[in-house]
Amino acid sequence: MMDRATQLKQNFTIIEHAIRTAEVNAALEKQSVRLLAVSKTKPATDIETMYALGQKCFGENYVQEATEKINILKELSIEWHFIGHIQSNKTKQIATTFDWVHTVDREKIANRLSEARDGKPLNILIQVNVDLAKTKSGVDPSNLKDLAESIWNLPNLRLRGLMSIPDPESDSQLKQSHHYLKNLFDNLKRDHPTPEIFDTLSMGMTQDLELAVSEGSNMVRIGTALFGARAPKE
Protein backbone atom coordinates (compact mmCIF):
# COMPACT_ATOMS: atom_id res chain seq x y z
CA MET A 1 0.00 0.00 0.00
CA MET A 2 1.04 3.55 -0.74
CA ASP A 3 1.90 5.72 2.23
CA ARG A 4 -0.23 8.76 2.93
CA ALA A 5 2.21 11.34 1.54
CA THR A 6 2.60 9.42 -1.72
CA GLN A 7 -1.16 9.09 -2.03
CA LEU A 8 -1.72 12.80 -1.45
CA LYS A 9 0.97 13.69 -3.95
CA GLN A 10 -0.63 11.49 -6.57
CA ASN A 11 -4.07 13.00 -5.91
CA PHE A 12 -2.68 16.52 -6.10
CA THR A 13 -0.94 15.81 -9.40
CA ILE A 14 -4.14 14.37 -10.90
CA ILE A 15 -6.25 17.35 -9.82
CA GLU A 16 -3.70 19.93 -10.95
CA HIS A 17 -3.66 18.22 -14.31
CA ALA A 18 -7.46 18.09 -14.48
CA ILE A 19 -7.66 21.82 -13.79
CA ARG A 20 -5.02 22.74 -16.37
CA THR A 21 -6.78 20.52 -18.93
CA ALA A 22 -10.14 22.13 -18.14
CA GLU A 23 -8.52 25.55 -18.67
CA VAL A 24 -7.24 24.49 -22.10
CA ASN A 25 -10.64 23.06 -23.06
CA ALA A 26 -12.38 26.25 -21.98
CA ALA A 27 -9.80 28.36 -23.86
CA LEU A 28 -8.76 30.08 -20.62
CA GLU A 29 -5.40 31.52 -19.74
CA LYS A 30 -3.07 29.15 -17.92
CA GLN A 31 -3.34 29.31 -14.14
CA SER A 32 -6.54 31.34 -14.28
CA VAL A 33 -8.47 28.77 -12.26
CA ARG A 34 -7.52 28.48 -8.60
CA LEU A 35 -7.67 25.30 -6.58
CA LEU A 36 -9.13 25.52 -3.09
CA ALA A 37 -8.19 22.36 -1.19
CA VAL A 38 -11.10 21.43 1.09
CA SER A 39 -9.57 19.86 4.17
CA LYS A 40 -12.57 19.51 6.50
CA THR A 41 -12.36 16.44 8.77
CA LYS A 42 -8.75 15.80 7.60
CA PRO A 43 -5.76 16.14 9.95
CA ALA A 44 -3.32 19.06 9.99
CA THR A 45 -0.60 16.66 8.80
CA ASP A 46 -2.49 16.22 5.49
CA ILE A 47 -2.60 19.99 5.05
CA GLU A 48 1.11 20.22 5.76
CA THR A 49 1.80 17.59 3.10
CA MET A 50 -0.33 19.41 0.50
CA TYR A 51 1.31 22.69 1.41
CA ALA A 52 4.73 21.21 0.81
CA LEU A 53 3.54 20.22 -2.68
CA GLY A 54 2.76 23.88 -3.40
CA GLN A 55 -0.89 24.22 -2.37
CA LYS A 56 -1.51 27.50 -0.52
CA CYS A 57 -5.32 27.87 -0.13
CA PHE A 58 -7.36 25.61 2.11
CA GLY A 59 -11.09 25.53 2.81
CA GLU A 60 -12.70 24.53 6.11
CA ASN A 61 -16.34 24.14 7.17
CA TYR A 62 -16.38 23.86 10.95
CA VAL A 63 -15.14 26.77 13.05
CA GLN A 64 -13.86 24.81 16.03
CA GLU A 65 -12.05 22.18 13.98
CA ALA A 66 -10.58 24.81 11.66
CA THR A 67 -9.34 27.01 14.49
CA GLU A 68 -7.41 24.11 15.97
CA LYS A 69 -5.71 23.30 12.66
CA ILE A 70 -5.02 26.94 11.86
CA ASN A 71 -3.33 27.26 15.21
CA ILE A 72 -1.17 24.18 14.65
CA LEU A 73 -0.16 25.43 11.19
CA LYS A 74 0.31 29.11 12.01
CA GLU A 75 3.90 29.15 10.81
CA LEU A 76 2.85 28.32 7.23
CA SER A 77 1.62 31.07 4.87
CA ILE A 78 -1.71 29.47 4.18
CA GLU A 79 -4.72 31.40 2.90
CA TRP A 80 -7.71 30.10 4.88
CA HIS A 81 -11.21 30.05 3.38
CA PHE A 82 -14.36 29.51 5.42
CA ILE A 83 -16.88 27.55 3.31
CA GLY A 84 -19.28 26.22 5.94
CA HIS A 85 -22.66 27.40 7.15
CA ILE A 86 -22.28 30.58 9.24
CA GLN A 87 -23.96 30.71 12.64
CA SER A 88 -24.28 34.27 13.85
CA ASN A 89 -22.63 33.49 17.18
CA LYS A 90 -19.50 32.37 15.27
CA THR A 91 -19.06 35.48 13.13
CA LYS A 92 -16.44 37.00 15.39
CA GLN A 93 -14.24 33.94 15.35
CA ILE A 94 -14.66 33.57 11.58
CA ALA A 95 -13.82 37.22 10.93
CA THR A 96 -10.65 37.09 12.99
CA THR A 97 -9.40 33.66 11.86
CA PHE A 98 -10.03 33.43 8.10
CA ASP A 99 -8.86 35.33 5.00
CA TRP A 100 -11.94 34.54 2.89
CA VAL A 101 -15.58 33.68 3.60
CA HIS A 102 -17.58 32.02 0.80
CA THR A 103 -20.97 31.59 2.44
CA VAL A 104 -22.35 35.04 3.23
CA ASP A 105 -26.05 35.06 2.39
CA ARG A 106 -27.62 37.74 4.55
CA GLU A 107 -26.99 41.30 5.62
CA LYS A 108 -26.98 40.60 9.33
CA ILE A 109 -24.06 38.18 8.92
CA ALA A 110 -22.19 40.63 6.69
CA ASN A 111 -22.60 43.40 9.27
CA ARG A 112 -21.35 41.23 12.06
CA LEU A 113 -18.33 40.06 10.07
CA SER A 114 -17.41 43.64 9.22
CA GLU A 115 -17.76 44.77 12.84
CA ALA A 116 -15.54 41.97 14.10
CA ARG A 117 -12.83 42.33 11.47
CA ASP A 118 -9.84 44.49 12.00
CA GLY A 119 -6.75 44.94 9.90
CA LYS A 120 -6.93 43.89 6.25
CA PRO A 121 -10.46 43.66 4.80
CA LEU A 122 -12.02 40.21 4.80
CA ASN A 123 -12.58 38.77 1.31
CA ILE A 124 -16.23 37.88 0.82
CA LEU A 125 -18.18 35.74 -1.60
CA ILE A 126 -21.95 35.77 -1.59
CA GLN A 127 -23.50 32.32 -1.60
CA VAL A 128 -26.37 32.24 -4.08
CA ASN A 129 -29.21 29.76 -3.90
CA VAL A 130 -29.14 28.67 -7.54
CA ASP A 131 -31.75 25.94 -7.36
CA LEU A 132 -34.25 27.58 -5.09
CA ALA A 133 -36.73 24.88 -4.16
CA LYS A 134 -34.64 22.42 -2.15
CA THR A 135 -31.55 23.97 -0.60
CA LYS A 136 -32.06 26.49 2.13
CA SER A 137 -28.68 28.25 2.20
CA GLY A 138 -27.75 31.05 -0.12
CA VAL A 139 -29.40 34.31 -1.01
CA ASP A 140 -32.43 34.25 -3.26
CA PRO A 141 -31.20 35.63 -6.62
CA SER A 142 -33.85 38.36 -6.49
CA ASN A 143 -32.21 39.74 -3.33
CA LEU A 144 -28.63 39.42 -4.57
CA LYS A 145 -28.21 42.99 -5.75
CA ASP A 146 -29.40 44.46 -2.43
CA LEU A 147 -27.09 42.22 -0.44
CA ALA A 148 -24.14 43.07 -2.71
CA GLU A 149 -24.80 46.79 -2.27
CA SER A 150 -24.88 46.53 1.48
CA ILE A 151 -21.61 44.56 1.48
CA TRP A 152 -19.70 46.94 -0.71
CA ASN A 153 -20.64 49.71 1.73
CA LEU A 154 -19.14 47.88 4.70
CA PRO A 155 -15.68 49.13 5.66
CA ASN A 156 -13.98 45.86 6.57
CA LEU A 157 -15.34 43.59 3.87
CA ARG A 158 -14.25 43.29 0.26
CA LEU A 159 -16.81 41.67 -2.00
CA ARG A 160 -14.82 39.43 -4.37
CA GLY A 161 -17.51 37.37 -6.09
CA LEU A 162 -20.13 34.66 -5.87
CA MET A 163 -20.33 31.02 -4.84
CA SER A 164 -22.85 28.21 -5.10
CA ILE A 165 -23.40 24.71 -3.79
CA PRO A 166 -25.90 23.24 -6.24
CA ASP A 167 -28.19 20.52 -5.01
CA PRO A 168 -26.46 17.22 -5.84
CA GLU A 169 -29.83 15.57 -6.53
CA SER A 170 -30.54 17.77 -9.48
CA ASP A 171 -27.51 16.62 -11.44
CA SER A 172 -29.07 17.26 -14.81
CA GLN A 173 -29.67 20.83 -13.68
CA LEU A 174 -26.03 21.36 -12.77
CA LYS A 175 -24.99 22.89 -16.06
CA GLN A 176 -27.94 25.30 -16.00
CA SER A 177 -27.20 26.21 -12.38
CA HIS A 178 -23.58 27.02 -13.20
CA HIS A 179 -24.57 28.96 -16.27
CA TYR A 180 -27.08 30.91 -14.22
CA LEU A 181 -24.55 31.82 -11.53
CA LYS A 182 -22.08 32.98 -14.19
CA ASN A 183 -24.74 35.32 -15.58
CA LEU A 184 -25.51 36.73 -12.15
CA PHE A 185 -21.79 37.24 -11.66
CA ASP A 186 -21.33 39.09 -14.96
CA ASN A 187 -24.33 41.34 -14.28
CA LEU A 188 -23.17 42.23 -10.80
CA LYS A 189 -19.64 42.92 -12.01
CA ARG A 190 -21.09 45.47 -14.39
CA ASP A 191 -22.71 47.31 -11.46
CA HIS A 192 -19.81 46.96 -9.04
CA PRO A 193 -18.17 50.27 -8.07
CA THR A 194 -14.70 48.67 -8.37
CA PRO A 195 -15.26 45.79 -10.81
CA GLU A 196 -11.58 44.81 -10.91
CA ILE A 197 -11.78 43.39 -7.38
CA PHE A 198 -14.95 41.46 -8.18
CA ASP A 199 -13.01 38.62 -9.74
CA THR A 200 -13.92 35.27 -8.17
CA LEU A 201 -16.53 32.71 -9.11
CA SER A 202 -16.35 29.80 -6.67
CA MET A 203 -18.18 26.83 -8.16
CA GLY A 204 -17.37 23.21 -8.83
CA MET A 205 -16.38 20.39 -6.50
CA THR A 206 -14.93 16.90 -7.02
CA GLN A 207 -17.89 15.69 -9.11
CA ASP A 208 -18.21 18.66 -11.46
CA LEU A 209 -14.82 20.34 -11.69
CA GLU A 210 -14.61 20.22 -15.52
CA LEU A 211 -18.22 21.26 -16.02
CA ALA A 212 -17.86 24.19 -13.61
CA VAL A 213 -14.72 25.49 -15.34
CA SER A 214 -16.36 25.19 -18.75
CA GLU A 215 -19.22 27.32 -17.37
CA GLY A 216 -16.93 30.04 -16.05
CA SER A 217 -15.73 29.02 -12.60
CA ASN A 218 -12.30 30.30 -11.61
CA MET A 219 -12.13 28.71 -8.16
CA VAL A 220 -12.88 25.04 -7.66
CA ARG A 221 -13.34 23.61 -4.17
CA ILE A 222 -11.98 20.08 -4.09
CA GLY A 223 -12.09 17.76 -1.08
CA THR A 224 -12.65 14.10 -1.88
CA ALA A 225 -10.43 13.90 -4.95
CA LEU A 226 -7.51 15.38 -2.99
CA PHE A 227 -7.84 13.88 0.48
CA GLY A 228 -10.03 10.82 -0.09
CA ALA A 229 -13.54 10.12 1.15
CA ARG A 230 -14.64 11.65 4.43
CA ALA A 231 -16.10 9.62 7.28
CA PRO A 232 -19.79 10.44 7.66
CA LYS A 233 -20.39 13.09 10.31
CA GLU A 234 -22.04 11.81 13.47
- Number of chain residues interacting with ligand PLP (CB under 6 A): 12
Sole binder of ligand PLP in the list 45, 97, 143, 206 (CB under 6 A): 206
- x/- mask, ligand PLP, residues 164-183, rule CB under 6 A, reads -x------------------
Candidates 23-31, 177-185, 186-194, 200-208; binding stretch for ligand PLP (CB under 6 A) = 200-208
Considering only residues 83-122, where is the footprint of ligand PLP by CB under 6 A? 83
Q: What b/e string do you get for 93-112 counting C-beta neighbours within 10 Å, with b at 16 or more?
A: ebbebbebbbbbbbbebbbb
Sole binder of ligand PLP in the list 55, 61, 177, 214 (CB under 6 A): 61
Candidates 23-31, 108-116, 191-199, 204-212; binding stretch for ligand PLP (CB under 6 A) = 204-212
Distances (CA, A) of 200 to 119, 181, 196, 197, 230: 22, 12, 10, 8, 27
Sole binder of ligand PLP in the list 40, 69, 81, 117 (CB under 6 A): 40
The minimum distance between CB 231 and ligand PLP, in angstroms, equals 12
The set of long-range contacts for 225-233, using a CB threshold of 8 Å and a minimum separation of 24, is 225/11, 225/14, 225/15, 226/8, 226/11, 226/12, 226/15, 226/37, 226/38, 226/50, 227/8, 227/11, 227/37, 227/38, 227/39, 227/42, 227/46, 228/7, 228/11, 230/40, 230/41, 230/42, 231/41, 233/41
Residue 224 makes contact with ligand PLP by CB under 6 A: yes
Candidates 2-10, 62-70, 130-138, 215-223; binding stretch for ligand PLP (CB under 6 A) = 215-223
- Chain positions contacting ligand PLP, by CB under 6 A: 38, 40, 61, 83, 165, 205-207, 221-224
